[in-house]
Amino acid sequence: MGDTGIDVEAIMQNAMEAAAVFAQLDQAHTDRIVRAVYRAALDNRVRLARLAHEETGLGNWRDKVIKNVVATQLVYEDIKNLKTVGVIGEDEERGITEIASPLGPIFAIIPMTNPTSTVFFKILIALKTRNPLIIRPHRRSARCSNEAARLCYEAALGEDAPEHCIQWVEHMSRDETQRMMAHPGLALVLATGGGALVKAAYSSGTPAFGVGAGNVPVFIERSADIPFAAEQILLSKTFDNGTVCASEQALVVEQAVSDQLCRELTRRGALFLDPEQTRQLGEVVFDRDQGVMKGEIVGQPAPVLARLAGFEVPEDTRLLVAPLDGVGPGYPLSAEILAPVLAYYTAPDLEAALNLCIDLNYYGGTGHTASIFSNNATAINLFATHMNAGRLVVNMPSSQGGVGGICNRLHPSLTLGCGSGGKNITTDNITARHLLNIQRITHRRLNERFAAMDQAAYFDESVDATALGKRYNKNF
């Protein structure tokens, strides 16, 4: 339900009452609710995409339609057959039965970059697991986020879902957000947003799934199909004007194929900047004092970014490419820029390329995503072992590859965990499975090896680990 003033206690009371009703629903009823919500969201994919673009001015509405499709159709197909009620697994040999139960009320923070698709995604996985959801939109995209929540709620009520199973607010201050996250009745925070907000979620005392920054390095190894790589990179980095956190941020190209890649990128609408243009662009897209990209440039087209920087490019320019010779604060375009801008590095060999990728990975992108174009299995494995990334995408667009479900079999998700590198609890693509409490009934299954052991040996300090191991296994 909507609200023009924030009463945290009232919202939480509604959510806890909904949770009590939700816990009584069976799988069939739950699935009917989820299906109705999925259909309503997918039916409104275009209208909500247009509304999101109109309200935020970010990206373009056509790509936002695809985001809405990923968050509805692909997510629904991924979770529709998942058991989330009652017994969900039995292992007779081990004597373990698994029972699923809901977590309870979930607080969902929604980013401006994906204001409707993230709402659809979080609602579907929450309802599938019988968890009431409280939507907290970004202040600059509250209208479209709340409209997405409203139509989902009405569809859920049409299948006799609990009242208040979805709630949303018009605006929530920082203090109110913190009070909501710390409320003792809240079960989980799904925090998709900026670093400060995610950190606050993890510091709230309530369990949280968060995300991290995605400074994605892309290694173009000499065995790669270069025209294909150029096509995939343009497809990904220009998707919704670069607003996907898994989008490419820097290309690291082996010298042997650099000239060919430059030609292929240029032929597809990329424009390589000269040193002065690179300097000018860096000044307008990156806040040196804060150490992050400037919010006003997120999701803007390449010609607009060029004009902001003080130079003109052809209106059909799709991507600005900035050759750099270093990584770090002195090279602002080597950081995460959620816009159609790519840093470009040339490396003489595999070792040098890997070192550059490591530097980029650790300059604000650990745990997120790394990309490689290669047909050399040895190079791919070497790259993977050097990257601190939850997702290592091979020969595919990084944006679409990272969110999953389009060109790979990762779970489609709008919340991409970054593990310890991104100060998150998991590297998974968050999905419905993460929103369940799993109880395990364990039946007696005697450990015969332990029972057969001479227990006195454990108290004998002269018996070492090798001897204990032999005794443990002696009869088997």
Contacts of 285 (CB under 8 A, 6+ apart): 293, 294, 297, 305, 309, 332, 333, 337, 339, 341
Report the alpha-carbon distance of residue 317 to residue 411 in Å, rounded.
33
Structure tokens given for 420: 């310890």
Q: Is 144 a catalytic residue?
A: no
> Cβ distance 397 to 372 under 8 Å?
no
Structure tokens given for 282: 């860096």
End-to-end Cα distance, the chain: 62
H or E segment to which residue 109 belongs: strand 106-109
Q: Are strands 96-102 and 436-442 parallel, antiparallel or unpaired?
A: antiparallel
Which residue's entry shows tokens 């309200």?
A: 55
H or E segment to which residue 251 belongs: strand 248-254
Annotated active-site residue in 144, 245, 357, 418: 245
Report the alpha-carbon distance of residue 241 to residue 332 in Å, rounded.
19
The DSSP output letter for 428 is: S
Beta-bridge partner residues of 106? 133, 188
Structure tokens given for 424: 């998150």
Contacts of 143 (CB under 8 A, 6+ apart): 51, 55
Nearest Cα neighbor of 468 from 460, 330, 476 is 460
Q: Could you give the residue numbers annotated as active site?
A: 245
